[in-house]
Structures are given as structure tokens and as C-alpha cells.
A = this chain, B = another copy of it.
């Protein structure tokens, strides 16, 4: 951690830039210097601490997939010292816009420390499965998914 981000949004921009650029050092600058940091990739075990978080991104970048990421802000909850951002992440894999994966939903939590705002939690998870056309707009009574 050496970068100073004046706002949580600055840190978030740097996070997704580093993701797109597959730049491990830049990625780790965004994260807090605390060993309490947590990263939860979709359908992966959570990892904690800078060494394990760095390794998890090394594995993502080692796939060699070229990521473009479009971010859709769904909710911001902000206090003077903490910011919780809920986003949808639309990944574009290897530039192929004809086969877009469903967007992921992610929670990013930033805390303000002496060096500005840094990421302490990234929790990304898979989206809902596609809903059959005849159930669009269904109301209450939705069944729980099998693993709920």
C-alpha cells in the first residue's frame, strides 16, 4: 500500500483499473495495509491477509484472460470513515462482446485510514440463474435455490 486515494471512489477506480490491467502491484496498492483484509472471489473460499489476497489475484491474472470490466453502481452507503459500494461487474472476456457472462454482484468496503481510503473487503458472487420467460415479474412465493 503506497498510493493515497482521496475518496473511496478513487480507490474503487484504481481497483478496477488494476483488475483490467492485470497489474498485481497496482492491485495491492488499493488494499489496506491491514492483515484483516478479506477477498471473496465468486464460488471461491474467502482469503484473508495481504499475502493470501495477493496470491488470489495472482491466480486470477495467471489465467491469461483479458478482462474488461463495466461497473454499474447499485448502492452506496457512506459515512465519514467507511464506504460500502454495491456494484454489478459486467466482465468482457478477451474482448468477446457476443458472449457476455451474467454480471457479478460485488460488495466493496473501503475504510479511511491515515493514508486515505483503502479497500478492506471485496465480496463478489454469482448472479441469479436466468429466470424462465413465463416467470418474469413473479411476485412473492419464489422458491429458495437448492443450496439456500
User: Which residues on the B side are within 8 Å of A41 (C-beta)?
Assistant: 148
What is the count of identical protomers in the complex? 2
A140 contacts B105, CB within 8 Å?
no
Select one of B62, B65, B125, B141 contacting A125, CB under 8 A.
B125
User: Which residues on the B side are within 8 Å of A146 (C-beta)?
Assistant: 101
Query: If A123-B123, A126-B43, A126-B126 touch, does A101 touch B48 (CB 8 Å cutoff)?
Result: no
Q: Is A132 an interface residue when CB atoms closer than 8 A count as contact?
A: no
Query: If A55-B140, A59-B142 touch, does A79 touch B46 (CB 8 Å cutoff)?
Result: no
Which of A5-13, A23-31, A80-88 lies on the face that meets chain B? Answer: A80-88
User: Which residues on the B side are within 8 Å of A76 (C-beta)?
Assistant: 36
User: Which residues on the B side are within 8 Å of A128 (C-beta)?
Assistant: 43-45
User: Which residues on the B side are within 8 Å of A145 (C-beta)?
Assistant: 42-44, 126
B102 contacts A75, CB within 8 Å?
no
User: Which residues on the B side are within 8 Å of A105 (C-beta)?
Assistant: 40, 46, 123
Chain A contacts to B: CB under 8 angstroms: 34, 36-38, 40-46, 48, 55, 58-60, 62-63, 65, 74-77, 79-82, 84, 86, 91, 101-102, 104-105, 107, 109, 111, 120-121, 123, 125-129, 140-148
